[in-house]
Amino acid sequence: MANAADPKLLRRVKLGAAGSYSEALWDEKALKVLPDAGLALIPLNSYDWDSGVSTSIVRLLDIDLAARDLRLRGEISHDFDARRADLIGNNVVSISQRVLIDADISDRDAPSVLSEVTLAWPVNRVFAANGYMFQIEDGNWYGGGRATVRVSPADASEEILAETDLGEGTVKAADYRDGKLYILRQIGSSRSIYYWSPVLNSSGENKLVLDIYDASTPSALALLGSSSFDLSTDGQISGDHLLWPKANRPAVVLDYRYSYWFGWGGPILMDSVTSISAVASPMKTKSIMIADYRPYWVPQKAPRLILYDTSIPEAPEVGEPVMLGLEGSTLTGVSEAADGLIVLGTTRWDDQDTGTWLDYGVAFQSAEVVEVQATGTPIVRPPIELPGKLFAVTELDADGFLAFTRTYNDGDSTTFQVSASDGYEAFLVASLDAPAYAVATAGGRRLFVAKPDGVERHLLGEDGTFTTESPLEIGWTPYSLRWLDGTLIGATWNSLFAADGESDKVDQWNFQSWYLGTDQITLATDGDLLVPFGDYGAERLAR
């Protein structure tokens, strides 16, 4: 600066398009200035709203101190957000949170990537078989990744033996069965504009693809066959697991979009609503009239079941969607399948006789039972009325099941119920009161309820009453519980435990900063826990 009292702008360059950003804006360590080389290295990220494509680069910028000038040069592309870069000889080594790249910048206008090393990868699902671990990255858009399966030795999750690109879209469910890997991808999704009331606009590709891979040689997965199904613009996958009522007949459940209503406190009467569409013009209008009380959200369609036939893995087939319950039903999030039956929990929010909307505590709760044969169209049985919202199904076979439900009472309590069902009707067997928002699950005939320092265990006896057993003392309150193949798993934000249903022995693990969930944990054949940690990879936790 020639005159500090009178600074002047000599040169300004535009680094990226509108909406671009750089970590250097808030962390000076991200900006690398190399005066001796006359070079600056700047990590830069951008998003193109028209194409939906994100880019991440290291921008090269010449710094001419003698001429007091700046000049834009080329760029080094990353698959993920670039974080830091430095110069070694004529090469720039740049790093993101997942990849390290070595690039030759002899020609600064056209840097050439020489090598790329993967440092880390996200794992959203994990399975172990035959001494190998299958680590699946879902490819969620917010993670900037792509649907991928990586194979490692079962006892060395960081040693990748093979990597397979699963294609476009997001993995919604996956399973390993009998030497085959089943991957369910959703390509595209519904995109909706919410303004005052109904969803008036949605568009874009939205399809479901089931891929079947030969995993008999895990280090060399081979795609056997695929089946594609058009979800329409408003269909979404419910749950994150495939249901297997029969061998070679996997199933998945669909939810549909909701309309959102304001004016919770009373009636709404409007002549027209204007929707500002992000994908169409000009502005659209739709006339509506609402004469009576409505809840905050209204489902547009009843849930649907999609059933596949994978008996010929090279040519899997998909059947037409089967409606579950009545229009306006919603899923409770519980679904189980075994021995030719699928059981799902549903909630109906309006009175079927009068059409009036019901309060949460008196909404119609039911179990939907679907009968599946080795071939042919599934049979949906009449809904089974339940005393409360379904949260667990146990002892499911062709003869029936136990349904565990809960009802929220006025005040600070809830009532858990267990009902026996023959698949056509349900009969209340026993009930138990607990704190209002207690986390609970069930396994066999045991009800597990979280308490401030562990888990209560209640056993349903042959006389139809609950007996309280010794609690599991773990020293903290689980925010999620899951019964998995004879093992009770519980988690809080940074802690995890596993215990057998009858034993008082508890295995615990604590982590520094992971936000733990239980839905995608699986068990190895020896009982070890296989835990996906998202951006932090996967771990095998020995028991």
Bridge-based pairing state of the strands 192-194 and 199-202:
antiparallel
- Cα dihedral 202, 204, 207, 213 in deg (nearest 10): -140
Phi-psi map region of 198: left, alpha, beta (phi>0 left; psi -120 to 50 alpha): beta
d(CA 90, CA 85): 13
Per-residue pLDDT at 277: 38
Angle, vertex CA 489, rays to CA 486 and CA 495, nearest 5: 160
**Phi and psi angles of residue 218, each rounded to the nearest 5 degrees, phi first:** -55, -30
CA 219 and chain centroid, separation: 26
Residues in the chain, overall count: 543
Q: How confident is the model at residue 12 (pLDDT cuts 50, 70, 90)?
A: confident
Between residues 124 and 263, which one has the greater pLDDT? 124
What's the mean pLDDT in 345-357? 72
Q: Is the dihedral of CA 415, 419, 425, 427 positive or negative?
A: negative
Between residues 503 and 393, which one has the greater pLDDT? 393
How far CA 143 is from CA of 76, 81, 189, 290, 328, in Å, comes to: 20, 10, 17, 41, 33
**Phi and psi angles of residue 36, each rounded to the nearest 5 degrees, phi first:** -65, -30
Tell me: pLDDT of 289 over 80. Answer: no
Per-residue pLDDT at 40: 93
Bridge-based pairing state of the strands 379-380 and 364-371:
antiparallel
Task: With CA atoms as reference, report the closest residue to 417 among 466, 450, 455, 461.
Answer: 466
Instruction: Write the pLDDT tens digit of every residue in 36-78.
Output: 999 999 999 887 777 667 788 999 999 988 888 889 999 998 8
Tell me: pLDDT of 201 over 60. Answer: no
Rounded mean pLDDT of the chain? 84
215, 150 contact by CB (below 8 A): no
Task: With CA atoms as reference, report the closest residue to 488 among 363, 394, 369, 376.
Answer: 394
d(CA 404, CA 390): 6
Instruction: Write the pLDDT tens digit of every residue in 415-456.
Output: 999 999 999 999 999 999 999 889 999 999 999 999 999 999
Cis (ω within 30 of 0) for the bond into 282?
A: yes
Tell me: pLDDT of 395 over 70. Answer: yes
Between residues 278 and 158, which one has the greater pLDDT? 158
CA R_g for the chain? 28
Q: How confident is the model at residue 363 (pLDDT cuts 50, 70, 90)?
A: confident
353, 331 contact by CB (below 8 A): no
Percent over 90 (pLDDT), the chain: 58
d(CA 71, CA 213): 50
| Burial class for 177, CB neighbours closer than 10 Å (0-12, 13-18, 19+) | middle
Tell me: pLDDT of 286 over 60. Answer: no
The pTM for the full model equals 0.81
Instruction: Write the pLDDT tens digit of every residue in 104-118.
Output: 999 999 999 999 888
Q: What ranges make up the beta strands (E) of 303-452? A: 304-309, 317-318, 322-323, 329-338, 341-348, 364-371, 379-380, 384-385, 389-397, 400-408, 413-421, 426-435, 440-443, 446-451
d(CA 258, CA 435): 31
